[in-house]
Amino acid sequence: MTTNADTDLFRTTEDHEALREAVRAVSRDKIAPFAAAVDEDSRYPQEAHDALVAADFHAAHVAEEHGGVGADALAVCIIIEEVARVCASSSLIPAVNKLGSMPVILGGDADINARYMPRLASGEGFFSYGLSEREAGSDTAGMRAKATRDGDDWVLKGTKAWITNAGISEFYTVLAVTDPDGERGRNISAFVVEKGDEGFGFGEKERKLGIKGSPTRELHLDDVRIPGDRIIGGEGDGLRIALRTLDHTRITIGAQAVGIAQGAIDEALAYVKERQQFGRAVADFQGIQFMLADMAMEVEAARQMVYVAAAKSQRGDADLTYFGAAAKCYASDVAMKVTTDAVQLLGGAGYTRDFPLERMMRDAKITQIYEGTNQVQRLVMARQLLAGLPSTR
């Protein structure tokens, strides 16, 4: 059988590559110079925030009908990848805006989308995602936060944990039990909570190993009364919407992991070409070359998995659940390995804050944990395989 390589090869479009160059320029000029200070001071990357909003890269997934760019899933992954290449904390701005707003996009009616998506697109208000609790991480159906009807309103009570960009975002998708006596998992609903709602507050910032520029806090819901039209989808649809959301957004964590790993390769390459030992550049030694080749090979494999999963997300393919989990799992494992190897290539210098690799290594770790640990991703993939997905090729 003969094939036409030009038509059969998966590739990005010219528009995707033009976007990559634009994001790379913004990242290089307006984000990278502040990345070390953001990490050192554990402060929100306001410079990145402003630059991403100015360039419409902060929430490019929002549809054009709501004033957004209408970028496809692959384009959003490219944005996140290129920002993460210089600053993982900053890459969580577009990533979490998509995570927080996808339940509204996937499960909300036209009215709730028209109310919130234009504000997200303009940069007026960012979105965060309130699913996890201290005792309900992987076991999301075990959450204890509750929402109780009171006339036309809902009253929310409870605590959500590990919420990315909490305190920065204006809007929060919050999951809560609406039928305590209902079937487990089918008794949960999703709501939009606004930062200014009475009774809504935040815990102290978590002290973290990495992504220190992205604040992680608890959400405190102390009898927060919200109008009935802030429910996303139907009563009891919350967990289904939440899991559908993760199918789409786990891919963005894969993109973040690829960006972190690629940034580590960039730094390692520059160093080993300049560093001299035994009268030769370190890059001339075969053992070093083998390490670099393995690192680059693994990152490119991860990138292609992420891009294929993004295409499936855009199409809504039936096997998205499998590919989203696989892309996130593989890319994050690669990021952890590659950043560790990159630190090794710099030797003692890699262990110091004089170079960004120790930060990249610390940042990489969370990609194996959030939006579902990699152990959970393997369970997701195994269940899909046992159910006959992905289809046999």
Alpha carbon distance 331, 298 (integer Å): 9
Q: Determine whether 371 is an active site residue.
A: yes
| Given the residues 82, 218, 358, 371, the one annotated as active site | 371
Burial grade of 293 (CB within 10 A; 0-12, 13-18, 19 or more): exposed
Kindly give, in sequence order, each residue whose CB lies less than 8 Å from that of residue 162, ignoring residues fewer than 6 positions away: 132, 137, 206, 216, 370
The answer to whether 106 and 245 are in contact (CB under 8 A) is yes
Alpha carbon distance 216, 229 (integer Å): 28
Question: Which residue intervals of the chain are DSSP H helices?
Answer: 5-8, 14-26, 32-41, 46-54, 73-84, 88-107, 110-122, 238-274, 286-315, 320-346, 357-366, 374-386
Alpha carbon distance 83, 50 (integer Å): 13
Kindly give, in sequence order, each residue whose CB lies less than 8 Å from that of residue 104, ignoring residues fewer than 6 positions away: 112, 113, 116, 117, 127, 173, 192, 232
For 165, phi then psi, to 5°, come to 60, 25
HSE-up of 201 (CA within 13 Å, CB side)?
A: 6
315 C-beta neighbours (distance < 10 Å), count = 11
Residue 78's identity, in one-letter code, is I
The answer to whether 360 and 353 are in contact (CB under 8 A) is no
Whether residue 390 is preceded by a cis peptide bond, meaning omega within 30 degrees of 0, is yes
Indicate which residues carry an active-site annotation. 371
